[in-house]
Amino acid sequence: MKKINLLILFVLAIVLVACTKQPNIDPLESAEDCNEKSLDGGWVCIWADEFEGSEVDTTKWTYEVNGYGGGNGELQYYTADNTVVQDSILSIIAKKEVYLGKQYTSSRIVSKYKGDFTYGRFIIRAKNPVGAGTWPAIWMMPTMNAYGGWPKSGEIDIMEYVGRIPNKVTGTVHTEIRNGGNTPVREYTLPTANSEFHNYEVIWEPGSIIWYVDGVKFNEVNYTPQFTQQYKYNQVFPFDQDFFMILNLAIGGTLGGNVDDSIFPTAFEVDYVRVYQRDYAKVDKQAPSKVTDINLQQLANTIYWKKAEDDFAVEKYNIYINGEFRGVSRLHQFTFGGLTKNQTYAITIEAVDFAGRVSKISDPFSFTFQ
């Protein structure tokens, strides 16, 4: 009898401990108008446009109307009239027509302030236009430019295509130091890029962006501070803020190149845009691992450490000085300010996942402020 009582107590204790470790976040609600509400791995569709109406849904998209040329010498004037929504497809149609000083018209729609996301899985099914001079893109820009104007706050190009190279698509990011010749662009060979619909996809998580075409991975960018010792994380990986979606069809410009005037009208067609986020309340079961390998970085008063392991993802790190909370970092680097010169401090760090589970505190790291 005594043994059984002890056993019951033991089981109750385990249940109690398990209950206190439940995530402190609510489950995600799926978007009603998304045609595929969940995907394996705990992904829930939180925002979508299936283009099932008869016009662009302006509760989700805004037309950017201008002849600015996108900063790339592009030749089109973007109007609010170069789109058609029919048979569950959005067509962005480029035309050869003189309009307000430009020789071509087209459209560009953005989800800014209507669909803004930090992290997630973005799946866009699209078919590229035919013809030299076309330059369609599925991409994302920062809503609030937390780290300054382009490219300091980043740009995520989910899919770019130019009609003069019809059998390839590309994916990349632009940041303050990953720009120009350092842009981590990768090509994916896709002979049917302009004749068939394909799924263009990005999975964006803290410190990581991965590109796929039809489920095949073709590019990956990770934040690894040991390789960029002289920079703050945001100069390398400013992707810890809201980004919005852009769908457009540019004509000519630096990447589009020479235009074949016999191709018009030509259309960039989009079947759907679906945005998924992980339902961490449901899938996350473990706290992150203890932070280890804290190091001084070349950049003054900056430390970095090994990214903590988690069953899904670490959302942030809490930084402590002499046991007192000092600040939060979204990535595995932190720059101190406002300390006393030449004084030595004991730094400890804990990792927190998206379910609010907290790691054990790190061993103290001795740090002298300069």
Task: Tell me which residues touch Ca ion (CB under 5 A).
Answer: 50-51, 88, 271-272, 284, 286, 310-311, 353
Cβ closest to Ca ion, residue 157 vs residue 284: 284
Alpha-carbon torsion (62, 65, 69, 74), positive or negative: positive
Judged by beta carbon, residue 216 or residue 358, the one nearer Ca ion is 358
Say how far apart CA 278 and CA 270 lie, in whole Å.
24
Give yes or no: 50 in active site: no
| Catalytic residue chosen out of the listed positions 50, 74, 155, 315 | 155
Which has the closest alpha carbon to 174: 249, 255, 116?
Answer: 255
Q: Compute the least distance from the CB of residue 80 to Ca ion, in Å.
A: 21
160 a catalytic residue: yes
In the complex, what is the shortest distance from the CB of residue 359 to Ca ion, in angstroms, rounded to a whole number? 9
Query: Residue 29 contacts by C-beta under 8 Å, 6 or more apart in sequence?
Result: 44, 46
Nearest CA-CA partner of 247 in 178, 185, 200: 200
Residue nearer to Ca ion on the CB measure, 51 or 276: 51
CA torsion 217-223-226-231 (nearest 10°) is 140
Of the listed 50, 160, 176, 315, which one is catalytic? 160
Q: What is the spatial distance between Cα 186 and Cα 171, in angstroms, rounded to a whole number?
A: 6
Report in angstroms how near the CB of residue 288 gets to Ca ion at its nearest. Answer: 6
Shortest Å, Cβ 15 to Ca ion: 20
Quick one: 125 or 178, whose CB is closer to Ca ion? 125
The residue of the chain with the least Cβ separation from Ca ion equals 88
CB of 55 to Ca ion, least distance (A): 14
Would you say 263 or 361 has its CB closer to Ca ion? 361
Which residues are catalytic, by number?
155, 160
